[in-house]
A and B are shown apart, each in its own frame.
Chain A
Amino acid sequence: MSEVERIDDSRARFSMRVWIPIITRAFAHRNAVAGLIGGGVVVAGIETVLPLLVGRIVDEARAGSEASLLPLLLLYLTLFVVFAVGVWVFILGAGIVATRTADQLRRDCFAKLQSLEPAYFDVRPTGWLVSRLTSDCSKVAGILPWCILDFAWCSAILIGVIGTMFLTDARLAIWALAAVPVMILVSAIFQRYLVRSGREARRVSSAMTAAYGEMLLGARTTKTLVREEANLAEFAQLSSEMNFWAMRSAVLSSVYLPLIASIAAFGAALILWQGASEVLTKEGITLGTLIAFMQFAALFAQPVQELAQRFADILNASSAAERIASLLATQAKIGDSATVRAPTHDELRINALRFEGVSFWYREGVPILENFSLCASRGKTIALVGSTGGGKSTIVSLATRFYEPRTGRITLDGVDYRDRPLAWLTEQIGIVPQVAHLFAGTLRENIRYGRLEASDHDIENAARRVRAHEFIVALEHGYETQVGEGGERLSTGQRQLVALARAVLRDPQILVMDEATSSIDTATERLVQAGVDEVLKGRIAFVVAHRLSTIRRADVILVIERGAIVEQGTHRDLLAQRGRYFELYTNQYAADKERALLHLTDAKAEATVASLVGDESE
């Protein structure tokens, strides 16, 4: 999980590089970006021209020429309408850029995640990845259009205002600009501190949320320990830290904003002082121009503040941008190499899968399998039994190419499976996981997941073969029943039956089943067993077995301990040996019966099994 923490902890500095994938996607929407920039420039232009126009109106009114007022007022009105249209256009543009860029980023990240090997997900919590696709994408795409807009708008205003002022009266323009560098400097300094305290506040805020969560989860434990006061004292530290950073932000803003206002007033004062002299000596500008210049001075403050704010936004979002860039740049470690060769017609049928001297470890120096060999052939079921952490799951994960051997190789009729296209290999494999994962949707859709092009008839046939059809048609909506998120509306046993139907529909050559340890009632268990037999028939089958009935029916039982086969044979042979298998079997037997007698819940039953088998995984 180190990467997860590293990226979150990194004190984000601005780096253009991480924004490149986001910017390229945003600029793909050329018209919208043009609308953004165009709208921004039009609005800025009008904002620049308005003070001049007001100045003209004042001058004309002063001259008492009522007649010339009307066209000016009409122009004024027209400009307002154009302004409003400009606003409308740039918000629409921003909407398109923000939403489409976010959408594109999300889909690209999603597609990237689909291509990555399971090991990638082992070290990254699901919730962490989900926020990459949701909040991070929305965040970076959400600020980008406003940055583009403000960049265009501010540049246009500054160029327009400065240009107009210089054209009107260069001397007064220099006086008017005197305050701008100070404003920029002050903004840059304050934004740095504001970004920092904002970031700290967010950090403390998430720590507080975690503390609240822990308080709720551990409420009973806290009561038994009578540690309410200690808890509160610890929490109060967090909340006072929060208070510190929040106050710091507030005080910084409370200095920053009036300071900018004062600097702007200082600029206006300079114009008043110098401009009024010019008006008085009657050798330069008119009163109307003076008023216009004073309004210009007020115009400077906003673009500077806006730019400072966008700069802060970018800094705040740069860790999100970095996380997205790094996800998009991740290369899948399991995929097709250059030497991949599609199987010929004769090679399509797989007769044997062999582990040849396979070693594997998750962490360097902690081997799970060492020089492990095994041959599985068509039509035979291999049951893997043994302690958790002994390597059973690793063996099936390697067989399905979720992981690849570190050394040694796994072959299909003598050909290293890494030399076969991953997509083809996947088509040949069916997996029935310990906890059946169903997707929100109908039962029919969930079974069809096994083979997308299957007809409704195929689906029902598959369901019949594993005895799932009966329970399905008994439901009110039959195959159209919505299973809910993760299949929550079905019982554990029903979910298992659906997973079995899904595997049968796929009709794979290699089948891997991680049998559920959780208890289901005896009647369902018998049903599931019938389904299991159907699924295993005629394939190269591996079962990580927990149920006695499955174990007894296997063609070969492998007892796996510490990454090696310690016993091997049929049920009868192994029982007769009175070795490790005998021990496991009898314990399992006791656990099964006890579970039935005490109606233990799933979790407890698992714990019981684990403890009876004598392997607390540590």
Chain B
Amino acid sequence: MEGLRSIWKLARGEHASFGLAVVALIVAALLLYIALLVPQSVFDTVLGDSAAASDISRTIVGWMGGTDAVSHALWIPALLMVVITGFSGVAIHLKTRLAAGSAERIARRTRDRMYDHVQRLPCSTLDQLPSGDLLQRCTSDIESMRVFLTSQAPEIGRAVLMLLMPLPIMAMLDWRMAIASVVCVPAMLAYTAINFKKMGPSFAAKEAAEAAMTANVTENLTGIRTVRAFGRGAYEETRFAASSAAFREADAHLFRLFARFWSISDLMCFTQQIIVVGLGAYLFANGRLELGAYFYFLTVVAMFIWPVRMLGRMVVEAGKALAAIARLDEILAKAQERDLDPDAAHAKPLTNTREGLAISFRNVSFAHRGGPLVLDDVSFDLAAGQTLGLVGPSGAGKTTIVQLLLRFHEPDAGTITIDGCALSLIPRASIRGVVGTVLQQPFLYSKRLRDNILASARAADAHQRAMESAAAIACVHEALLAFPEGYDTVVGEKGLTLSGGQRQRVAIARALVQAPRLLVLDDALSAVDAQTEATILTALRTNKDTHSLPPSKLIIGHRLSAVMHADLILVLDGGRVIQRGTHEQLVARAGLYQTLWRIQTELVDLASESSDADAAMSDRLTEGSSTAVLEVRDV
């Protein structure tokens, strides 16, 4: 079975420890059964007819000094019972320590491994796996594995051992009774296993009803303002009562099934016991069974029959856990990013200088697996220390250029070179280490603001001053100081949320503090007001004396003020470069760039002329777009 193989692999290094646990368990169970033999031997020899006593009873009483000695010192068997049970307890304790220790270590290792593995998966793999699914594997599937290791597997082992261990002793005592003692076991196993398999759909129905009810509550609470606006509280209560009752009924149905299961399986256990009691009494009355042996059978059956009742259920549950374990293995088998890096001999890491990056794209094309081309034959050269601006409608491929540059994806065709070296030979960590990136929707960790700004591997030991000056360039220093605990405020805690603009600016500070060779701003100022944006961009351009200013920049923005100072501006549409040049060149040419420029500068005058301007402006815009389309054909 797939799951068994996976768990064997995950348990690497713990096999010996588990083996010892099994030994301890066997010892514990043996001792427990021996402890039971002590009073039995006393009943047999001391209290009963010692001539008819079994060999075992005589041996055990022999250990204690013989029948006479024991009859005069009855504390000896009593003490022996306590001591043996005590030792069995120690063995159980050792078993739990060993087994739980191993199981928890495996769980911890698997948690760490999953965490590290998933964060190192290539973007293309992450894109294919829904994050809800991944989260479930990381949490509930690992938990299933832990429960399997800490409880299901040991319980199954214990029940089987409890059943098997007394068999030889029982057979030695009386083979007829031994057979009678286990005669119901196969039927019980079959009944519980079939029962729990059959209950599967009812469990599923309960879960579905609960999910439906949860969805109902969530919807109501999400729309609670609408509910209030329409005064529909009572109506909603009726609706909810229905879904709550449906869940109640599904749950109650399970209770009814359980009531049936437990009472029937109880009856089966009792049937087993009554067979032993009845047959034993009959044999005993006829002098064909010793009292001690009879007592032993009575006790032992009561001890192993109840765990057997759970065995069928455990096996069904363990089957589910093994499926979860197999799912974990499936993720762990996927290649990490570093597995895709060139091997050390061929790798050419970038040097960590203060020089800018020279970037060159040659006929680069890219499509997401099986999708349409996102980049179509894109070429450009950017000398070290220059700034590149990218403009275009959403979906034009601007972000893809950044993603290829950071090796989130690999181009399908064409080559990218950095400082004259093929990007495919540069390890991912190396290129990402020299680029300070601010993504479209920057993510902040739920840590202190300070830790967020110093989050990158390269900034880990940056000084307070470097952090504050980066924050100052990003125009966020003052805003952060205004928080209750300044830079030590924890993001997302106590309802502290940052506005979109603040998040973007913290992310910019985070990129700057790495002293990157290239700064990438992927529409990273969209939520920042125009004035602040201008201040930040000017600081990035002119503030010569700050150590963290990046020599090269790649700026994506739909506000042209962000890109107008770039050394090279590419206008993209549908994955192709439709225009290229400097701001002056592009403004002079008809096309998307020029149209945008007009909207952003000249409209102020147009607008004041009342609504007629709408029509006029629409015409001009349409004109602009069609020119842009024409240009694409020309390229």
Contacts and interface: CB of A to CB of B under 8 A. Distances in A.
B259 A91 contact: yes
Given A118-B228, A614-B529, A107 B241 contact: yes
Contacts of B213: 106, 134
Given A114-B227, A226-B432, A208 B111 contact: yes
A227 B455 contact: yes
A270 B394 CA distance: 84
B8 interface: no
B63 interface: no
Interface stretch (B91-99, B352-360, B418-426): B91-99
A273 B614 CA distance: 105
B217 A133 contact: yes
A471 to B, nearest CB: 21
A242 B115 CA distance: 15
Contacts of B595: 597
Contacts of A430: 229
B535 interface: no
A250 B96 contact: yes
A73 interface: yes
B281 A73 contact: yes
Contacts of A115: 233
A270 B282 CA distance: 30
B175 interface: no
Contacts of A269: 77-79, 81-82
Nearest to B592: A597
Contact of B81 (A73, A257, A265, A612): A265
Contact of A220 (B96, B118, B123, B237): B123
A415 to B, nearest CB: 19
Interface in B440-473: 442-443, 445-446, 455-458, 460
Nearest to B89: A258
B248 A210 contact: no
Interface in A48-95: 54, 57-58, 60-62, 64-66, 69, 73, 76-77, 80-81, 83-85, 87-89, 91-92, 94-95
A220 B443 contact: yes
Nearest to B235: A452
A227 B456 contact: yes
Given A65-B285, A110-B237, A257 B92 contact: yes
Interface in B336-391: 337
Interface string A317-356: 0000000000000000000000000000000000000000
Interface string B69-81: 0010011011101
Contact of A81 (B267, B392, B533): B267
Nearest to A111: B237
Interface string A269-298: 110111011011000000100110010000
Contact of A597 (B88, B429, B435, B596): B596
B281 A614 contact: no
Interface in B479-494: 479, 494
Contact of B262 (A87, A221, A402): A87
B457 A229 contact: yes
A223 B105 CA distance: 28
A84 B267 contact: yes
A250 B97 contact: yes
A83 B229 contact: no
A180 B229 CA distance: 62
Contacts of B600: 590, 594
Contacts of A224: 406, 432, 435, 437, 439, 456
B586 to A, nearest CB: 15
B108 A239 contact: yes
A544 B89 CA distance: 73
Interface stretch (B11-19, B38-46, B311-319): B38-46
A111 B284 CA distance: 67
A290 B40 CA distance: 12
A280 B71 contact: yes
Contact of B456 (A64, A225, A265, A616): A225
B195 interface: no
A608 B530 CA distance: 10
A280 B259 contact: no
Given A211-B115, A604-B526, A294 B222 contact: no
A549 to B, nearest CB: 9
B294 interface: yes
A454 interface: no
B230 A426 contact: yes
Most buried by B among A69, A123, A221, A291: A221
Contacts of A506: 230
A113 B439 CA distance: 40
A599 B396 CA distance: 10
Given A220-B439, A616-B528, A243 B47 contact: no
B214 A208 contact: no
A208 B298 contact: no
A210 B608 contact: no
Given A126-B221, A255-B93, A114 B530 contact: no
Contacts of B92: 254, 257-258, 261
B626 interface: no
A476 interface: no
B20 interface: no
A228 B119 contact: yes
A169 interface: no
B54 interface: no
B214 A130 contact: yes
Contact of B282 (A66, A246, A618): A66
Interface stretch (A374-382, A431-439, A534-542, A561-569): A431-439
Contacts of B232: 449, 452
A347 to B, nearest CB: 19
Contact of A57 (B271, B277, B531): B277
Best-buried of A1, A220, A225, A261 by chain B (most CB within 10 Å): A225
Nearest to A217: B443
A230 B457 contact: yes
B119 A437 contact: no
Contacts of A266: 82, 85
Given A100-B248, A212-B139, A597-B625, A95 B259 contact: yes
Interface string A91-117: 110111011101100110011011100
Interface in A531-557: 548, 552
Contacts of A279: 47
B252 interface: yes
Interface in B509-536: 510, 514, 523, 526-533
A578 B608 CA distance: 9
A353 B445 CA distance: 47
A31 interface: no
B203 interface: no
Nearest to A80: B270
B179 interface: no
A600 interface: yes
A594 B260 contact: no
Contact of A616 (B215, B254, B267, B501): B501
With most chain A CB atoms within 10 A of its CB, the pick from B263, B501, B510 is B263
A526 to B, nearest CB: 12
Contact of B255 (A99, A255, A449): A99
A58 B251 contact: no
B138 interface: yes
Contacts of B134: 216
A216 B135 contact: yes
- 9 smallest CB-CB distances across A and B, nearest first, come from A95-B255, A258-B89, A254-B96, A114-B233, A250-B100, A426-B231, A265-B85, A91-B259, A273-B78
Given A224-B456, A439-B223, 16 more contacts: A80-B267, A95-B251, A98-B251, A114-B233, A129-B221, A212-B138, A221-B439, A228-B119, A254-B100, A258-B92, A273-B75, A276-B47, A586-B608, A597-B624, A610-B529, A618-B502
12 contacts: A61-B282, A73-B278, A87-B266, A115-B233, A242-B108, A254-B96, A258-B88, A486-B222, A594-B600, A604-B394, A608-B558, A611-B526
